[in-house]
Amino acid sequence: MSHAVHTSSGNRYEVVLEDAPENCVSLVMKPDVREDYLNRGVWLVLLFGVWSTPDRAAIDLAVSLACDLQGCASVGIRPFDDPSEAAAWLPELPTTYGSPIWIVLKDGRLKDDLIGLHDKQELLEAVKSRC
Question: Taking a C-beta distance cutoff of 8 angstroms, is the pair 90, 96 a contact?
Answer: no
Predicted local confidence at residue 98, as pLDDT = 86
> Phi/psi at 77 (nearest 5 deg)?
-125, 120
pTM over 0.85: yes
For residue 26, name the pLDDT band (cuts at 50, 70, 90): very high
Residue ranges of domains in the chain: 2-128
Alpha-carbon distances of 7 from 1, 2, 32, rounded to whole Å: 20, 17, 19
For residue 95, name the pLDDT band (cuts at 50, 70, 90): confident
Q: What is the mean pLDDT of residues 69-93?
A: 94
As its CATH architecture, domain 2-128 has 3-Layer(aba) Sandwich (3.40)
Q: What is the mean pLDDT of residues 68-91?
A: 94
Predicted local confidence at residue 4, as pLDDT = 60
Q: What is the mean pLDDT of residues 101-121?
A: 96
